[in-house]
Amino acid sequence: MSTVERSTVPPYILLVILLAFLSMSAAVFYSLADKPKAVHASTNAANPTADKSAPLAGGDPDPALSEEQADDLSALMRKVQSNPNDADALMEIGSIFLTAKDWGRAGVFLNRAVLSRPADIGPRYMLGIALYQQGREQEAAAVFEELLALEKYPAAQYNLAIIYKYHMDKPDEAKALLEQILASPDADVETVSRAKKELNPE
């Protein structure tokens, strides 16, 4: 399996999925009871070795913020100042920082969103990505495990499988998760394709 460096996936793929992810927030913001239409490819683990790097699902968007996004961030910050437990605003801020690849600040706000809305898997999913991008694989794994205890979300299963396989020396657990994705009627084509490649590397 060839080495894949962190943040090498074309940004447009990630932005498409991030937009799909955001579009599902109307009824319950970032509640992934409604699955994203697709999973965006993401980055690899921090300091990957030559034989231990694989793409994660989600988390490598375009780092440049538009003027509109910057304005949105300012407005959202004011909302959080007024209501520190505004889960919707916290998640939106977290997603903006993910877009900017500011993993640390994304993690701070997404963790607050998780605390404000513990039953929503959306902020947990994004928090797992933010932690992973910082090289905090063990913590990211714990977040994805908590998410999967709430809902068997295929993208999270894939992400956890990648961490198990390449960072925690748990190949059997990783294989089981990847096989669950193939058996899931909710798994999208991209996630299934990635799972197959991990199960049957060339």
**What are 67-99's pLDDT values in tens digits?**
888 889 999 999 999 999 999 999 999 999 998
Hey, what are 86's tokens?
A: 């505004």
Checking if the pLDDT of 25 tops 70, the result is no
pLDDT of res. 69:
84
- Give the type of residue at 7: S
pLDDT of res. 201:
85
Checking if the pLDDT of 58 tops 80, the result is no
CA dihedral sign of residues 147, 193, 36, 75 = positive
pLDDT, tens digit (0-9, with 9 covering 90-100), for 95-142? 999 988 999 999 999 999 999 999 999 999 999 999 999 999 999 999
pLDDT of res. 16:
37
Kindly report whether the global pTM for this prediction surpasses the value 0.75: no
Hey, what are 55's tokens?
A: 């793409």
Helices 189-199, 154-167: axis angle to 10 degrees equals 20
Higher-pLDDT residue of 6, 187: 187
Q: Tokens 């990783």, residue?
A: 174
pLDDT of res. 59:
52
- Res. 62 pLDDT band, cuts 50 70 90: low
Higher-pLDDT residue of 122, 66: 122
8 Å CB contact between 175 and 167? no
Half-sphere exposure of 108 (CA within 13 A, CB side): 7
Half-sphere exposure of 22 (CA within 13 A, CB side): 15
Q: What is the mean pLDDT of residues 140-156?
A: 97
Burial of 184 (0-12, 13-18, 19+ CB in 10 A): middle
Q: Give the domains, in start order, of the chain with CATH numbers.
A: 11-199 (1.25.40.10)
CA distance 87 to 117: 6
Checking if the pLDDT of 5 tops 70, the result is no
pLDDT of res. 145:
98
**Start-end of H helices in 87-170:** 87-99, 103-116, 121-133, 137-150, 154-167
CA distance 25 to 152: 19
